[in-house]
Every structure is written in C-alpha cells, then in structure tokens.
Amino acid sequence: AQKVTQAQTEISVVEKEDVTLDCVYETRDTTYYLFWYKQPPSGELVFLIRRNSFDEQNEISGRYSWNFQKSTSSFNFTITASQVVDSAVYFCGCYNNNDMRFGAGTRLTVKP
Amino acid sequence: EAQVTQNPRYLITVTGKKLTVTCSQNMNHEYMSWYRQDPGLGLRQIYYSMNVEVTDKGDVPEGYKVSRKEKRNFPLILESPSPNQTSLYFCASSEGTSAETQYFGPGTRLLVL
C-alpha cells in the first residue's frame, strides 16, 4: 500500500512570505498519480494539481508551484508571496491501482 | 452546475441507529468513493466504486456499507453506528474508472453519541 507523509503539521507565515509544504510518498509501483488538495476554513476540498509518475516536469500556476522529484519521492508545493486567503489545510495524495492515500495534511496560517 | 452533493450535511445520532448518507453526482462520472477525515489522520478511503454494481473496500471499510445501483448515486450506510464513527465524511467522483482526479462533495459532519 502507498503511504504519504506530510511532516509539517502546522506552518505559520506572515503575508508575502514564500512557503513550501513538504510531501513525501512511498509506493512500490512505477505508475502512480500525485495530488494536492486545498481545504479552506469553509471545509470543502479543492483540487489543485495532479501529476503522473512519468511526468517530472515542475509546474507553475500563478503563485503556486510544484516540485516533483522521483529521486527523493517528494512532491513539494510552494506558495510564493503568500496571502491571507491561502490559509487552509493542504493535503497531498498518492493514487495507484485503486489505492488512494492522503497525508495527514498541513495547516497553513498566513497572518496579515 | 457540475457538482457532487451530499445529504445530510450535519447529523447527530445515537449508537446503533442505522443511518444513510446520500451522495449524488451530475457529471456522469464512473468512479465514486467515500472518505472520512479525522484530525491527525487526514483523509482515509472507506469504499470506492469503479462503476455501477462494482464496489470494493478501501482503507477503513469496517462498520460501513455502500451500494451503487445507479451511476449517479453512491450512498454510505452505517448499519449500527458507534462513537468511533464520529467524523467528517466526504464523497467524491472522477471521470474515469479510477481516482485520477476526484471532485469532492461538501462533506457530512456526523456525531454519534
């Protein structure tokens, strides 16, 4: 079974700081998908990104960027110039062969 | 509007009283699943369904049942709820027959006394 570790339980930053959320995954499979979801204080789960295991290209979407490194089994998420609206719990996940695993989540608080 | 809906959103019940949480999606998605979210544990998959009449256990299926008689609906049944099933429950669906990109419902907060 897969395993996903988000070692940072809580992070607090001041607005405009950059912040990186770490995600380390374990899987025996060569084909898998990695995800990030955001859960704002309102409680819904918002899809952010999906990456398949064959695509190690980093991705940037506005202030968000993702760094996928197979060599270290990591899929880290960076928010540049954080804003108060980025305050949320962020979940990293790994999927393969009908087995979906999420990490415990990282609570990010961005203070004004 | 494309969405996954869950009902009820909030539920307080007592130990042993059977309950059903409904989940419906209007996106014609093949794959549906249920998760529970608990502090410090993240989201854990309870059951999933790759298609109508095809369901299978996830990571934490004990104490739960599901059915998939129609493509759009995937109810979660607690035959005899216990306090350790107090949790936040999410239903999700995705287009293919796997969990490649899942879209989540708004969540159902359940308290079992």
Residues of B whose CB is below 8 A from A88: none
CB-side neighbour CA atoms (13 Å) of B27: 20
pLDDT in tens, chain B (113 residues): 889 999 999 999 999 999 999 999 999 999 999 999 999 899 999 999 999 989 999 999 999 999 999 999 999 999 999 999 999 999 999 887 666 788 999 999 999 99
CA distance A28 to B100: 18
B28 Cβ neighbours under 8 A, 6+ residues apart: B71, B72
pLDDT tens per residue across span B51-78? 998 999 999 999 999 999 999 999 999 9
The tokens for A109 are 């608080």
Q: What is the pLDDT of residue B97?
A: 66
CA distance A72 to chain B (A): 22
Best B102, B103, B110 member to test A by mutation, with max A CBs in 10 Å, is B102
Residue of A nearest to B48 (CA): A98
Tell me the longest C-alpha to C-alpha distance in chain A. Answer: 43
Q: Does A54 touch chain B (CB under 8 A)?
A: no
SS3 assignment for A40-93: CCCCCCEEEEEEECCCCCCEEECCEEEEEEHHHCEEEEEECCCCHHHCEEEEEE
